[in-house]
Every structure is written in structure tokens, then in C-alpha cells.
Structure 1
Amino acid sequence: MHLPAVQPADLSPLSSFQYLEHLSVSIRLDYSMLAALPNPIKLSRLRSLAVSSDQFSAIGALVAAVEHPIHGELSNVLSLLVARCPALITFSWTSDLCQENEDRFRPGVLAELIAPLLSVRTIRNFSASFKGHVVSYAPSGFRAFAGAWPELETLELRNALHSNKTDVNAYADFESLVSFAHHCPRLRRLYIPKVKFDRPAAAAVVRPSAPHWLRSLVVETVILCEEQLEDEVFEYRLRTLKRLVQEVFPEATIDVRL
């Protein structure tokens, strides 16, 4: 069910939909108006909840009203979401916030920001999309996702930068990819903005014992070395990466870009 531009009076009758599993709400009003809800919205069968708004406080108010994303605010909203919807299967977070004011927007680490979701073992689909350097990520974060979500089927992380700057600390590594092969047997699509592959010898020893049946792997950017490499070394590392990835995911369509 999708509700665009809701008013408080539009939300109260939702409790009568006792079998409602999917709800999408677009909040286009002052969040304080949500306090006018006379009763909690009880949705015991709810499996996915999508809320769009230009302020976390509005999202938090709606989540708090339902029974069944900076840093502290997002964590509080997600904690509420997990408490009310403990069997979530899909989570999608899209932000068009740009880091125009360095003092206001300090990059947060994705795994820390969404930490409450790591306790939800039922998640099958996770996607996050950011415009600028508001959110960073690290190899340890991807390993945490793989270990926390054994039922995962799709993971998409997009970071569309609107400048020539790059976040050198935001990347996955080969071990990150392998962690999904170890822990997420149902994973079918993996989309990662950046993979750093600067230790081919070390990567070769972390391969899983059995191939994984991933169907699609997209890596927007590959970093083979922090310094300029000779052409032969560059080509060798690139071939090595593609070979190792193909060995881990033999059935996948692999799109690795430089």
C-alpha cells in the first residue's frame, strides 16, 4: 500500500488492515501534526515499511506510531523500526544530502549508522544510496553485513559523488566479497561502489572451499594500488582480481570497472 502526502487522519484507519504486509508512506507535512494520531497503528503482519520525508523527526514520529535515517537521529529511528518490525525483510535508504558544509556534515560509517539493523536476521534485501561524503564504509562493515544477514539476497550500495573528490577510506576489499560467499548462500545480486585490490597474494588464500551461486556482481571502481603502477603490473593485478572473483562466483555476470 502506498500513501502519498498523508495527513494524520489518513493513518488511523490502517489498523483495520490486519493482514497488511507492505506499507509505503510519503510525509509532506509538519511532523508535529503526527502527534494528532489518536491511537497507535497496530500492524502485526507488517514486513516492509518505506517512509520518505525531508526530516528524520517526521520519519521517527511515524515509526513510533506504528506497532508491530544524522548519526543519533538515524540510530534512534532504526531502533524504533527494529522494535516495531522485528521480521523486516527489505530495507532501503536513499539520501540526497550533500556535504556542502564541512562543519555540519561529518562522514558517518555505514555499519555504525545502521547498527540496529544488524540484529534483524530476516533481512533479504538491503540498499543504500548517497550523493556525497555523508556516509563512509569499510571492509569490516561488509563483513558485518554478511555475518548478520544469512538470508540476504540483494545488497546494493551506491555513492553518486557530485565532485572530483573521493573518499579514500571508503572501499570494500576482496575479503569483503568472500565473506558474502561464506555467510550468505542465497545472495544473488551485489553492487558495491569501490573495491580495493592491492594485495593479490593475500587475497588468493581467502577463497571459500565451494563456489557461490551469485548472479550479478557490479563494482563501480577498482583501486589496484595507491601509487602509479607500470602497465604490466597493472594488467596482472586486474587479471588476477577478475580470475579470483570468477572462481568465487562462477555463475555471476561480473561488471568490474576502473
Structure 2
Amino acid sequence: MAMVHSATSPSLPNAPDILCHIFSYLDPVHQFGDNDVYESRRSLALAARTCPSRGFASPALDVLWKRLPDDQPLADLLCEVGIAIREDNAQTFKLSGEEKPSHHWLPYQDEGGYPLLGKAEYYEECWRLSRGYDVKYFLWTTGDPRTQPGWHRFVEHVSRVRAITTLFAFDGPAWCTIWEELLAVTDHAPVLPKLQSVAFCYFSSTALNTAAFSLLSPSVRKLNLNIDNEDWSESDVKICGIFTHSFGAAPEIEKLQLECHPSGLGLSLLQTYCSHLHRLEVSLPLDLEAMQLLVQLPALQYLSISLTQWDFSETSLSFAFKGNWETPGLPVIFAELCSLAISCSELRLGVVDPLLTHVEFPRLQSFSLSEKHIEFNNVSEKFPSHLRTGILLAKCPSLTAFAWTSTHIWDPHTGYRGGHRASIAPLAQLVSPLLSHRTLRRFSVQLNGPLVPYTPADFCAFAAAWPDLETFHLVDEEGSSWGLGERFADLESVFAFACYCPRLRSLALPRLEEHNSEALVNAAARRPPAPHWLRELSTTIFLWDEVWDWDRREKIVGQSHGLMQDVFPLVTLQRRGPACRTGEIENGRQQAVQSLSLSTIMHLGLSRDIPAHSGSTPSG
């Protein structure tokens, strides 16, 4: 990736802000799919390594080197600057298409992660040859490399690294041993002095290669142990070894992600190494015994747990898991916990109540529940009783943030099982205990599927109930029942928040419907007397008109735009229209849809599926 400059044109690196903006789009955090992430990260890292410093401005290098897919670019960089050499490898091997090696998924596995019989050995050989796993790296001399001319360039690049992912497919790459050699001759100075985040995504089931732990430095604050303990027959011993090596090299880790059960680590290990831990995310299902272990973490403030395990039948779940929660014993009290996030499937939704019964969170400020359903006939019946009856608020009087994400899984053959009206109770009634909690500041609901109805009355109730509200987000991903009078908001809904919630700064509503100019007159009569300093507003206004009259529709749109701008002067309004979809008939009435998007500069709520009319002139 060479930079070529002409003698008459200005050099691109002379504009570092532009470079930083361009390369930010290449940041792999915005990529999706393991293969894309791996290839983009590796390509960017190699590009930055091979380009001289004068070819890139500092912001671009910061972006390119901020996150690394593995440590191989670092080993190659040592060779590039003359500090190390790699052994000659006569074998060369290239893969393409489906056989090309990915980063988190081994190519001999099916979608479920199980080996394809007869192909494992072949693909392992392909993997090793393609990635150079068996190629060894050596330091060029036995002296202190910090005295060599290339050391300054090496430090210049590695000091930009903030996050790294290490992969141990099979028995691990051979190049890792160079980090142990490097530490031995540099007085154990950190290789990555500003490293903040490390992720271990796989370890061999036959051996524990400790060389990569040499890359950890005391600056690391986030650790992701993405390791399934079912991969090993003696999983607890090896996981404890990984845990000990990691926290021994980075003793002040504050954020930890685990895909292994905490009981495999044991109380002694947790107490010894996790005194600074304030954020913990555990993917495996937990029981009361595991929660009693986590109580021993003195600095823990954020806890995310999963109650999902798809391999078990409902009978075995009840026997092996739910019983553990219903066993009486000593109270489990998280004295300092401020935030709790729970994710579960439909089978496990009933476990939320026992959890809240046996576990105390006296200082909890934020509660989040995310659940998925295969068949859901009535949300109000299956919603945890502790959330419907107000027991959560009684146990957590300091609660200021509530988030609920509900997903009704859609089957491509049968659609949604349970119909298009999954709840009899509207949204405000479903979470009615929260309406009496006046100190709520953040409310977020995301509905994926036909789950809960809502009308302007619900939003008016929310606005009147929470005078300290700062954020209100409702996201509805299912639009098949819109227009049926069960799931919609209007301008009066928005103005209710402006009247009752002076501290509101971010508001997101899925869809506002207006039928005619008379509705706008009613909304204008109820607008707040003074402007509201809302900063983020994401919604789309749809106009339903019985008569196809462009002039009248333009007038209504202009009135809507003016009302919104008067009430929310800090919000940037962007019109896209006149815009319409024709041919949609509902109850014998043709609907004309006008898109009016409201947003701040960085938060757009545009209706992307509605084409703009060719004769229109957008106004801002």
C-alpha cells in the first residue's frame, strides 16, 4: 500500500484529519462476520508495517495499529526493522474460496462447530502452511535489541497498539516464542506498553502455550477469555492456568469476559486476582452457587449473565438448573453492584423471578433484560412477575435505568408462531410499576417481532410519570401491524415529552402517524410554551391522506416541520420528500406516505426505504 505523490499536487498526509476520517471507516470494529474482520485487520496491519512512517500521517497509523488480529504482524515488524529473522520455509501454500483460513472458525468445522470427518487432518495441514504456523522467528543477536537502529521504529508502531486478539488453533503458532526471548534481553520491559485490551479466542486442547502471555503488560484493563471449557477433559486446571498467567502479567484488569463457569476458577483464585475487577460478563448459565462466588468480588459494579442453554430439554433444565435457584440458603448480596444485565431464552425466562428473589442488589441503578422467544402468545403472561408487580423496584430503590429487548424469532417457512398480536396489555400497562418510580432517567425498549401494542396514550403516561427522564428509546423492528391502530405514536406524543421532561436529551420513537391538518392543529395547541433543548430525536412522520393532493400534503409537511423546529431548536430537521408509496390499499383507502426525518448531525433517523419524488426540492 504505497503512497505516491506528484510534484504538483499536495500530499495527502499533509491533511492528517482527513486521513484519520478515511481510515476510521476501515476500523474492523465496524465489520461484520469473522472472516471479514480477520482479513481486514490483517491487511491493514500489514499495510501499516510495510509503509514507511513518512508515507502515513500519525492519525492514520493510530487507526491502523489500534487493533491487531494476532501477534504475527508484530513478529514480522521485528524482522522488518532488522531485530529478528524468520527461518526459511521451503513450502508455500495458498488457499482460496471456502478453504481460505478464517480467524475464529476453523475450516474443517460445520456450522455447529463439529469436525467434518475425514477432513480435519487435511485442513490442519492447509492451515499451518497458509498461516505459517510452524515458521519460527529468532532474535538476530543475543545482545540488548534496544541498542539497535531499528528499535525506535519498532517502538513507534507497537506503542500505538491498544487491543490484540490471540488465536491458538491446534497447538499454537511457533512465532510466539520470540516474545519470551525478547523479554529476557530487555529486562522484561513490556512489548506493548500501552496495550489496554486482550482477547484469547481459542486454546489447544492438548497443550497450553504460555509464550503469548509475554505480550500482556500491566497497562491491560480488559480481558476476554473466549474459551469453551467443554473443549478440554481437564478444563478447570488449564483454565486456571490461563487465568493465573493473564492476571499475573496484568494485575489491574478491570473488565473480564468469560465463556467458562466461574466455579471452575474457584473462590481462592477469584479473591487473589480480581480485587480490581468492576465489570464481569459471563456467557454460560449461572446458578445460585456461582452467584455466591461472584459476591466475593469487592469492586464489582457491572454484571452481565446469561440464562440461555439451548442443548437441554425443558425437563433437564427444570431438574438441573431451576432447582438450584429455589434451594434456600444464605442471602446473596451484591453490595456495590450498580448495573445488572440478563439475557435468556423463552425456556429460561421463568428463572428471572427466582434470581431476583434470592439475590439482593441494594445499590442497583441499571437493569437490563434481553430475551428471545420461539412461540409467544401473550407477553403479559410470560413477562417476569417481579417486573410486572414492582418487586424489582422494591428491592432496588435506586434504579434509574431500565432496558428491555424482546425478540420473537421469525421462521422463514412459518413466520411468527403465535400470531401478530402477542400481548393483550399495551406497553405502559406491561411495565406499569415503573410509572410510579419518579426517579427513572433512562428507558429503552427494543421489540423485534409483533410483541406489544402501544398508542399515544402510552407515551403520554411515560412522559407524565418521569420528570427526570434523560433518554427514552423505543425501537420496533416489525412493521407488519402498523396502521392497524395498535402500534403508533403522533406529534402529541413527542410534545408530551417536551412538556413533562425538561431534562430529556435523547428521544427515539419508531413511527409517528398523522392523518390530516386537523391533527396538526390539535398537536400545536398542546405544544410546550417554551422551546425544549432536546439534542437527539430519531423518528419518521408518515402522512395518511384519503385524497391524493400534493399541495395539501406539502402544506401538512411544512406545518409538521415548523412545529418540530419551534419546539426543538437544537435538533436538525431534514426533509426527504414529497415521498410516497403507491398501490397500498388498506380498508379501501389509498395511503400516501410522507417522510420527515428528525435528527442531530450525528444521529440520523431517515426512512431509507421510501424513494424521494423526482420533482421535489429538499428543504432543511
TM-score, with length taken from structure 2: 0.39
**Matched residue, 2:459:** 142
Letter in 2 for 1:117: L
Output the CA distance in 2 between the equivalents of 1:166 and 1:174.
16
- Closer, same or farther: CA 75–141 of 1 in aligned 2, 3 Å: farther
Output the CA distance in 2 between the equivalents of 1:147 and 1:48.
25
Q: Identity percentage over the alignment?
A: 33
- Closer, same or farther: CA 135–103 of 1 in aligned 2, 3 Å: closer
Letter in 2 for 1:71: S
The higher relative CO (CA closer than 8 Å, separation ≥ 6) is in: 1
How far off its partner does 1:139 sit?
Answer: 0.6
Of 231, 236, 255, 2:555 maps to 236
Output the CA distance in 2 between the equivalents of 1:253 and 1:43.
43
1:131 aligns with 2:131: no
8 Å Cα contact 1:146-1:179 kept in structure 2: yes
- Closer, same or farther: CA 240–34 of 1 in aligned 2, 3 Å: same
1:26 aligns with 2:318: no
Letter in 2 for 1:148: A
- Closer, same or farther: CA 52–216 of 1 in aligned 2, 3 Å: same
Letter in 2 for 1:227: E
Count how many residue pairs are aligned between Structure 1 and Structure 2: 256
How far off its partner does 1:165 sit?
Answer: 4.3
- Closer, same or farther: CA 197–86 of 1 in aligned 2, 3 Å: same
Q: Over aligned residue pairs, what C-alpha RMSD do you find?
A: 2.5
Letter in 2 for 1:24: S
Letter in 2 for 1:85: C
**Cα deviations by residue, 1:14-52 (Å, 9 ceiling, x for unpaired):** 444566543322113535132347333223444432211
The list of structure 1 runs, each at least 4 consecutive aligned residues, that deviate by more than 6 angstroms after superposition, is none
User: Which has the greater radius of gyration?
Assistant: 2
Letter in 1 for 2:282: L
Of 74, 77, 93, 2:386 maps to 77
SS in 1 for 2:398: coil
- Closer, same or farther: CA 183–15 of 1 in aligned 2, 3 Å: same
**Matched residue, 1:168:** 484
8 Å Cα contact 1:63-1:81 kept in structure 2: yes
- Which structure carries more strand by proportion? 1
8 Å Cα contact 2:421-2:452 kept in structure 1: no
How far off its partner does 1:103 sit?
Answer: 9.0
- Closer, same or farther: CA 46–7 of 1 in aligned 2, 3 Å: closer
Q: How does 1:32-47 map to 2 (within 5 A)?
A: 32=322, 33-36=324-327, 38-47=329-338
How far off its partner does 1:109 sit?
Answer: 0.8
How far off its partner does 1:132 sit?
Answer: 1.9
Letter in 2 for 1:208: P
**Matched residue, 1:214:** 534
Output the CA distance in 1 between the equivalents of 2:459 and 2:421.
26
Can you give the 5+ residue segments of structure 1 that lack an aligned partner in the other structure?
Answer: none
**Matched residue, 2:202:** none
How far off its partner does 1:66 sit?
Answer: 2.1
Of 158, 161, 183, 2:475 maps to 158
**Cα deviations by residue, 1:170-201 (Å, 9 ceiling, x for unpaired):** 11121111111111111111110111223122
Output the CA distance in 2 between the equivalents of 1:166 and 1:178.
21
Of 506, 522, 541, 1:189 maps to 506
- Closer, same or farther: CA 168–103 of 1 in aligned 2, 3 Å: closer
Output the CA distance in 2 between the equivalents of 1:117 and 1:17.
30
Name whichever of 85-94 and 47-56 sits farther off.
47-56
- Closer, same or farther: CA 253–58 of 1 in aligned 2, 3 Å: farther
